[in-house]
Structure 1
Amino acid sequence: KMCCFYHFDKIRSLNPEAFVHKLKEDFPHLEKIVVGYDFAFGKAKAGNADHLNKLFDGEVCIIKEVCVEGIPVHSRTIKAYLKKGNIALANKLLGRAYVIEGEVIKGQGLGKKELVPTLNLSVDHYQLPLEGVYATRTKIGEKWLSSVSFLGHRVTTDSSFAVEVHVIDRDIGEVSGMVSFEFVAFIRENQKFDGLNTLKKQIEEDIARASELSSKRNSHYQQS
């Protein structure tokens, strides 16, 4: 199977007719095109799904609108809810928990010494949710473990941006390479504390809350 794509800058000036002509030239054996009901193409989005159906002599399959609880399922809608920290609704529209992956990097060194041990991750190419603390599940080896995660600027310490994951009630030892974690629930927004002692107390509360949310989630799936 061949996977190809167009760079937007290369096709943005083409009108609908020219775009379909290019498709036919580049993919002479193209027989079927699948698009959403609100698909738009060509310069200034002049073409739509019905237009494509008239221009393309093969089969055009138009997917009808999909809604969850009256909310249209769109990537832009999901991104908007992620930016607001509304993980529950974003996950509902996705039909699964939102998962991101990052590479383990060296952190400040404060976690293990002064606060709680964390995996510090470098995350690229993902839509990150609202800055704050989340109940999460982290994949270590082949197991998904309950965890609490922070993403945002470390406003209490050095103000640098970080993605940190603490696995709850488990010594995971040294971890390297890529790590995946999924968002279960939003706990609180990012905030500044008076010092490390106050921050540590809040982190302990965050861990307890994340553990409670993870237990409810696991209980729900067992009953289902």
Structure 2
Amino acid sequence: MTVFHRNEKKEPLPASLRGGVVAIGNFDGVHRGHQAVLSRALERAEALGVPALVLTFEPHPRTVFNPDKPVFRLTPPSLRARILEAMGFHSVIEYPFDREFSQRSAEDFVQSILGDWLGAKEVVTGFDFHFGKGREGGPAYLMQAGSRHGFGVSLVDAFRDEGAEVVSSSRIRGLIAEGNVSEAAGLLGYRYTVEAEIMKGQQLGRTLGFPTANMHLPPEATLKPGIYAVRFRRPDGSIRDGVASFGYRPTVTSNGDPWLETFVFDFSGDL
């Protein structure tokens, strides 16, 4: 799978990717609600015999409009791309999102991006998708635009859990902030996953016989401080069980940054 971070003004897409089925959305978390949209796109692409693509936006639009309150990303772009690849998509297009782009009209988005650039055969999105300046484009507009520009439109209803509540990224963020990672996993469809570089710590755990892998999470991460059962994936793909502590260490550091410290069971060596 290929990931493109570009727009229609930079360079064209490979001809082999034009004329595909395009799933549109931010897809932060790639949760069960997103998976309903994405699965529909994959089904339609297979039925039509065309590529399956995802059109998403980077950075997250909420971060552009509220830079002082960055969004807690459930899935950073690299992790989201790996999940989408595992689902079977041919390409992910991370369209650069900025204030200039947010001022483009809905018709410009349809004609310039979906039509001229992607040559979309069909577009699949959620029931609440809006686009264009002032969110002027909605589901009804997209259906009409598809008729004018010659592409099909498939809208997917809200996905609800067993309690009939809508599954959403904001709801999952709230559960993680409460430390309820088990319920969050039920809505995600997989265990909540974090990616971070291992940092060299002060090796205090090693002196006690419990060496840990120390990682900083993004400052906007809202995981509740506590102790968590984890599975640790090493760069070689091997997976180890462990236990992790997330929180602040005022007696050890003074910079106030939270750490995720993971002790990997039955392992000795470099992580």
Scaled by the length of structure 2, the TM-score of the pair is 0.57
Q: Displacement of 1:115 after TM fit?
A: 6.7
Aligned counterpart for 2:180 among listed residues 86, 91, 99: 86
Does 2:271 match 1:164? no
The equivalences for 1:68-147 within 5 A come to 68-69=161-162, 70-114=164-208, 116-123=210-217, 127=221, 129-140=223-234, 143-147=238-242
- Name the structure with the higher strand share: 1
- 1:184 maps to none
Would the alpha carbon gap of residues 165 and 81 (structure 1) be closer, same or farther in structure 2, given more than 3 Å must change? same
Amino-acid identity (%): 28
Q: Matched residues in 2 for 1:126 and 1:68: separation?
A: 27
**What amino acid is aligned across from residue 161 of structure 1 in structure 2?**
P
Aligned counterparts of 2:97 and 2:237: Cα–Cα separation in 1 = 38
RMSD (CA atoms): 2.4
Check conservation: 2:179, 2:223, Cα contact below 8 A: yes
- TM-score w.r.t. length of structure 1: 0.68
Runs of 4+ in 1 over 4 A off after TM superposition: 122-128, 140-143
Aligned residues: 173
Task: Give the match for residue 3 of structure 2.
Answer: none
SS across alignment from 1:145: strand
CA distance 1:72–1:114, change in 2 (3 Å): same
Tell me whether 1:67 sits opposite 2:67 in the alignment.
no
Counterpart in 1 of 2:117? Answer: 26
Gaps of 5+ in 1: 177-224
Q: Deviations over 1:68-91 (max 9, x none)?
A: 122212222222221221212110
User: Which runs of no fewer than 5 residues in structure 2 stay unpaired?
Assistant: 1-16, 18-90
Q: Is the partner of 1:100 in helix, strand or coil?
A: coil
Pick the structure with greater CA Rg. 1
- Give the structure 1 partner of residue 96 of structure 2: 7
Give me the whole-angstrom Cα distance separating, in 1, the residues matched to 2:248 and 2:219. 18
Task: Kindly indicate whether residue 269 of structure 2 is the aligned counterpart of residue 174 of structure 1.
Answer: yes
1:42 aligns with 2:132: yes
Q: Note if contact 2:216-2:258 (Cα within 8 Å) is conserved in structure 1.
A: no
| Paired residue type of 2:269 | E
